[in-house]
């Protein structure tokens, strides 16, 4: 099982002025954190895409390209690229470039987008939400598999004998993951296409998602795909702390960001009781001391048979020093114990 770190580039807010952190400072911190994740031996780093004032990263491919030049081994992926409002030709070109810079370490995670700010920003109609993703995924896969592309759809001009460059390593093909939040239709699409699945589990209890993973596996095999190539990942909120006190104090950061998002979605205020329930053994938050986080990851492996776990670590913009410590502990304490338990 691969272990990694994911981020969205959350910005801290000054409690006195209400103003967000300088994004230039945040981006510098993110690059330092990715470099550390590589140095402590983690397998993958994921960067998300948002177009809101509380996030520093709208172009994960730019951050990943910068990270490619300062890392040696860690895989670099988007978590996620909002493909519905992106241009598939450019997505492939950007990530093939990252792949070449990094020596073959780039991957793409694509999703429909739980945040919809990018649709009006780039001139797309939300009524086409599903059709946009389906069409653009079809085009991206065509580009990934063919140097010369012939493709037509209903929402974009056709491509006739068009060559897309540069080509990635591995015969021009990039790993493309389908990222989902639990929609059965999205899971079915990934299974039928034989694409690896990464499931965001950020609330409730992970066992509530077990039937979805089983559904994916059954449909994947029914569609005739090689079981040896099946990959299933989980992306969950994670923070590794040296002490219980630090994990407890992290509630302030975590609830602050959940409430900022919730304000635009009509959610009630995020409570300490929710936080504590999420941190419990059956909850979806991987927040706590190394042994606690290790046990929960191993439980996910036993429950789902996952091949990748990405701990989303920067919810609410924890202090940079605490982020560095969390990544260090994840790489030096959690990862070795997980690998040891799995015989890796």
**Beta-carbon-side half-sphere exposure of residue 234 (alpha carbons within 13 Å):** 30
CATH number at residue 275: 3.20.20.30
Domain assignment of residue 102, given as a range: 2-341
Q: What is the pLDDT of residue 18?
A: 87
Mean pLDDT computed over 239-259: 96
**Beta-carbon-side half-sphere exposure of residue 266 (alpha carbons within 13 Å):** 0
Q: What is the pLDDT of residue 15?
A: 86
126-131-135-136 Cα dihedral, nearest 10 degrees: 30
Q: What is the pLDDT of residue 213?
A: 97
Contact 334, 294 (CB under 8 A): yes
Pairing of the two strands 159-163 and 148-151: antiparallel
Using a pLDDT cut of 90, give the percent of the chain over it. Answer: 95
Structural domain count of the chain: 1
Angle made by CA atoms 213, 217, 222, in degrees to the nearest 5: 145
What tens digit of pLDDT does each residue of 171-226 get?
999 999 999 998 999 999 999 999 999 999 999 999 999 999 999 999 999 999 99
DSSP secondary structure code for residue 331 in this structure? I
Mean pLDDT computed over 305-317: 98
3 state SS of 81: strand
This prediction has a pTM of 0.97
Q: What is the pLDDT of residue 233?
A: 98
Residue 234 has pLDDT above 80, yes or no: yes
Q: What is the pLDDT of residue 113?
A: 79
């Amino acid at each position: 099982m691969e272990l990694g770190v994911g981020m969205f580039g959350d910005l801290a807010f000054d409690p006195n002025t209400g103003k967000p952190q300088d994004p230039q400072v945040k981006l510098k911190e993110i690059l330092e954190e990715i470099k550390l994740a590589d140095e402590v031996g983690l397998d993958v780093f994921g960067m998300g895409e948002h177009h809101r004032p509380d996030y520093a990263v709208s172009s994960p491919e730019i951050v990943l390209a910068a990270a490619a030049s300062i890392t040696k081994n860690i895989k670099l992926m988007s978590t996620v690229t909002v493909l519905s409002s992106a241009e598939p030709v450019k997505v492939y070109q950007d990530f093939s470039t990252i792949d070449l810079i990094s020596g073959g370490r780039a991957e793409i995670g694509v999703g429909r987008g739980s945040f919809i700010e990018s649709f009006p920003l780039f001139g797309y109609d939300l009524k086409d939400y599903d059709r946009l993703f389906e069409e653009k995924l079809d085009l991206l896969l065509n580009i990934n598999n063919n140097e010369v592309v012939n493709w037509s759809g209903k929402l974009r001009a056709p491509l006739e004998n068009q060559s897309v460059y540069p080509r990635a390593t591995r015969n021009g093909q990039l790993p493309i993951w389908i990222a989902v939040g639990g929609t059965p239709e999205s899971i079915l699409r990934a299974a039928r296409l034989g694409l690896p699945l990464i499931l965001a589990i950020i609330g409730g209890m992970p066992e509530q998602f077990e039937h979805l993973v089983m559904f994916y596996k059954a449909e994947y095999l029914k569609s005739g795909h090689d079981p040896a190539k099946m990959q299933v990942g989980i992306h969950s909120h994670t923070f590794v702390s040296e002490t219980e006190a630090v994990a407890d104090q992290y509630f302030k950061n975590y609830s602050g960001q959940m409430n900022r998002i919730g304000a635009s979605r009509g959610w009630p205020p995020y409570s300490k009781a929710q936080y504590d329930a999420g941190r419990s053994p059956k909850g979806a938050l991987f927040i706590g001391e190394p042994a606690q986080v290790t046990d929960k990851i191993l439980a996910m492996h036993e429950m789902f048979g996952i091949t990748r776990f990405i701990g989303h670590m920067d919810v609410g913009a924890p202090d940079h020093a605490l982020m560095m410590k969390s990544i260090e502990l994840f790489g030096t304490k959690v990862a070795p114990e997980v690998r040891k338990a799995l015989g890796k």
